[in-house]
Structure 1
Amino acid sequence: MDPLYRSLWDDVDGCDTHDAYKILTRLKLSSDHDPELHRAIEAIQVMEPGQRTHYPNLAEIGPGLPATTWFWTNWIPRGAITILAGWPGIGKTYVGLHLAHCVTSRTAAPDGAELDLRSGIALYVDAEDFLPDLYFRAQTWQMNLNSFFVMQRPPRDLLDFTKPEYQDELTEMCFCLRPDLLVVDSLSMINSRGENSIEEVRSILAFLADIAQQFDTALLLMHHLRKPGKRVTTPVTMHDLRGSGHLVAMARSTITLDLLKTGPDDDLNAPRRLQVQKKNRGRMPDPLAVHFTDSPATPDVAELTFAPVNTVLTAPATKTEECSHWLLNTLTAQGPLAQAKLLQLGQPLGYSRMTIQRAREKLNGQVIDTLGAYQRGNQWRLADDESDSQP
């Protein structure tokens, strides 16, 4: 509120509406030579003196807010974004296709729960140009293809959801089809500038969130994790979603898919673990083991079966592996710490100085020094702390 506006407002605020109107009208007639005074008078006339702006409270807003409903109870809500994150090649597309199969065949969820199905339609956004393989897998599984719709990537172009024409196409498809499940595969391929353009990614997430809410659909967004020193055999933790804070904040539920370790050696054919890492409402469901077995029809296609993780014989973590997870979680929660402080925190848990040092080495550069290993004031910090602080 500039001084001129405030001065005029104070002059007329105590008057009744009729007197204030007369004062402002006389001033306005004599203000043609003063554009600034003319503007201030018009601004005051829009809001009558004595009038106060009404700001709605939660008691007024609350009854009109949409209630949370679950497509897959405690896993995937309707009307919001759900992230499915994992290392490239871990099997996220298989899981997304399996959920589409559950919808089109009107069968139960992977944990046996009943899905909230209405149209029985699944819509798959194929931004990665994977349609031939999707079709081959769907045929092998004998999916109901009449209820499975695909938004295809255009020839020699990206399916860029920063462009209005692609937003309009998806909006129209959702309006006409009313899908129970919308799978977007993947975030990195629906933006011509990739996931590094934070502002464009936020714009796309806002568009997808609006689509999910407007059509009350379950929206599953695939997200490829990429971290230095990480491989497909590395377990996924919430730390691995650091740097994707804007993405996780927009999602109502965040699910990860990683490899279950069943022996001392890495086995790329071992079962996967499907786990909810973060959600805003309801209890955290028990993680599921996902078994990939060759289809009897063709060994080039896997069939998925699900079971509680505790039914799979997993190899116990070594002391160094346990310490590695502890070290990541501690630095994620508390930020940079001196090695002496880490030793103080770790010793009650049975982690010696040597174990903590080996745990850091096992993390392959994910933990670095702030100054130098032997410099006064040096601390250990996560290598991606600086990138995470970007807007």
Structure 2
Amino acid sequence: MQPPPFLGGGNGVDIVAADTIPVRPIDWLWPNFLAEGKLHILAGQPGTGKTLIALAIVATLSKGGFPSSLWPDGSHAPFGKALYWTCEDGIEDTLMPRLVAAGADLSQVLILRASFEKWKKRSFNFATDLPLLRSEIESHPDLKLIVIDSIMQAIAGDAHKNQEVRRSLEPLVQLAEDYGIAILGITHVNKNSGSKKPLDRISGSLAFAAVARVVLLTARGKSVDTANGYAATGVLVRAKSNIGPTDGGFCYEIGTAEIPAGPYRTTDSPFVRWSGEMIPGSAEEILKLIEGDKGDGPSGKREIAMEFLQSQLVGGPQVGSAIEQIAQAAGIAAGTLRRAREDLGVTSIKQALGDGTFANVWSLPTSTGFPHSRGPLGQSQHALVNTRRPERSWPDGGAPYASAPLASEATQGWGPKIVPAPIEAY
């Protein structure tokens, strides 16, 4: 954009009529989660998989444009290069193995290693080196994402002071807008902040959440063992968005892959595997479920399981096996869930579903005081088991789903999942 022709040495203010400003839609890399030209924050406790999630996003974007490159919600990822900067992890022995385990196309991933000043190597400095970064960005027109791990390193001053945080983040906001690049800044949350509102958990000034257009949080629940060796059930939630929906999240598991690391050697590296479709509900509700209630509500495991069941069945009957699956992902033990069912008086009746199969269908007794519909199965708008078919095609690219929902779909694992691509040597 050309500056206005000010008089008096170029000083003045830029005021224009609104009818001369075009309306432009938000361009999304990942619909409603990652927007071009915007700053995003990804926060969570250590060990919840923040970096692994960021690398999964990088890997998906690096292989975008192909039918197999899907976001966790099943939408197709566009192609784009990603630039990654880290001050916390070793590049060769930590970052590179994780990129390989995530299935990234390494030729489309750029690593910001350092800056040079008069041919002398030094650490990249956000306060002084952004003009140098801009010149590099211009030589990579396909660059769509920059990951900064950790965003605290971009703050010149006290990260707990709003004015200093805003002043430091403004150049990044402008960089994202000028080049149409999504910037994802990774940071931590405060210790013992589980009882706080989601945005209040983020370390440092509230300006981090205020300046970012989208804030994502990670949390980790009870570990689970599976036949594939996955563990550490976690959840990614959308805690804030000024440009789209503010609810919903995805469960994930952290697994380990053995990858090649030079001649005759291998190394183990963690990676994220998304599980299931989007979880409805606010960030606070989902975090409460996965972590357990740390606030004023019920604190016992059985009470948490009872609240979970009530949220599942308040809108009507649901297929029991689907609820059990989500309960396991949320860290609720089968025995605890069974006792919660007994306490609530949940009924289980074997019924025929619309696809000709039979399943045990759970429902709340009418005496619980929780109103619910006895209408068609799978139409609860409050359940974490999202049994309504999304508006998209089959995972194999076939015809779109029909409009009538079936609760049985929740037991079949519908919805494409991001699975690590075949491992390549790097």
TM range (shorter): 0.5 to 0.7
Matched residue SS, 2:43: strand
Determine whether 1:281 maps to 2:243. yes
> In structure 2, what is the equivalent of residue 161 of structure 1?
126
Q: Which of 96, 112, 127 does residue 87 from structure 2 map onto?
A: 127
Kindly indicate whether the alpha-carbon contact (under 8 Å) linking 2:36 and 2:182 is maintained by their aligned counterparts in 1: yes
Which runs of structure 2 are paired with 1:89-238 in the superposition (5 Å)? 89-106=47-64, 107-117=69-79, 120-132=80-92, 133-153=94-114, 158-163=123-128, 166-178=129-141, 179-191=143-155, 193=157, 195-196=159-160, 198-227=162-191, 229-230=192-193, 237-238=198-199
Offset at residue 183 of structure 1 (A): 0.8
CA contact (8 A) 2:234 2:290 kept: no
2:162·2:205 contact (CA, 8 Å) conserved in 1?
Answer: no
Contact kept? 1:87, 1:224, Cα under 8 Å: yes
Shift of 1:94: 0.8
AA aligned to 2:87 is A
Deviations 1:227-279 (A, max 9, x none): 4x34xx8897223138532111211111111113469xxxx952111010110
Query: Is the 8 Å Cα contact of residues 219 and 291 (structure 2) preserved in structure 1?
Result: no
Alignment of 1:323-338 (within 5 A): none
TM-score by length of 2: 0.53
Q: CA RMSD for the aligned pairs? A: 3.5
**Count of residues in Structure 1 that have an aligned counterpart in Structure 2:** 260
* Structure 2 partner of 1:291: 253
Q: Would you say the 8 A contact 1:126–1:153 is kept in 2?
A: no
**Structure 1 position 82, deviation (Å):** 0.9
* Partner Cα distance (1:131, 1:319) in 2: 37
On the 8 A contact 2:101/2:270 being kept in 1, the answer is: no
- Partner of residue 25, structure 2: 67
Query: Residue in 2 aligned with 1:300?
Result: 268
**Would the aligned equivalents of 1:160 and 1:191 in 2 still touch at CA under 8 Å?**
no
Contact 1:126 1:185 in 2 (8 A): yes
CA contact (8 A) 1:256 1:277 kept: yes
Query: Residue 244 in 1 paired to residue 205 in 2?
Result: yes
* Partners of 1:191 and 1:81 in 2: CA distance: 14
TM superposition shift of 1:226? 2.5
Q: Mark the CA change 1:93 to 1:234 in structure 2 (over 3 Å): closer, same or farther.
A: farther
- Aligned pair 1:82/2:40, yes or no? yes
Gaps of 5+ in 2: 1-6, 225-229, 260-265, 281-285, 300-426
- 1:144-200 Cα deviation digits (max 9, x unpaired): 21111011145995432112xx11222122211131211111112234646246444
Do the aligned partners of 1:128 and 1:153 also contact (CA within 8 Å) in 2? Answer: no
| CA–CA separation in structure 2 for the residues paired with 1:192 and 1:89 | 27
Aligned equivalents of 1:275, 1:251: Cα separation in 2: 15
TM-score if structure 1 supplies the norm length? 0.58
d(CA) in 1 for partners of 2:293 and 2:220?
A: 16
**2:136 is matched by which residue type in structure 1?**
M
Assess, with a 3 A threshold, how the Cα gap between structure 1 residues 189 and 82 changes in structure 2: closer, same or farther.
Answer: same
1:56 equivalent in alignment to 2:16:
yes
200 and 169 in structure 1: CA distance in 2 versus 1, 3 angstrom threshold: farther
Task: Summarize the Cα distance change of 1:300–1:193 in structure 2 as closer, same or farther, 3 Å threshold.
Answer: farther
SS at match of 1:221: strand
The 8 Å contact of residues 269 and 292 in structure 1, kept in 2 or not, is answered as: yes
Q: Distance in 2 between matches of 1:321 and 1:194?
A: 33
- 2:215 corresponding residue in structure 1: 254
Residue 322 of structure 1 corresponds to which residue in structure 2?
Answer: 297
Q: Identity percentage over the alignment?
A: 23
Please list the CA deviations of residues 8-34 of structure 1 after superposition, one character each: whole Å capped at 9, or x if unmatched.
Answer: xxxxxxxxxxxxxxxxxxxxxxxxxxx
Higher helix share goes to which structure? 1
Quick one: distance in 2 between partners of 1:54 and 1:139?
A: 48
C-alpha distance 319-292 of structure 1, shift in aligned 2 (>3 A): closer
Structure 1 counterpart SS, 2:148:
strand
Q: What code does the residue aligned with 2:127 have?
A: T
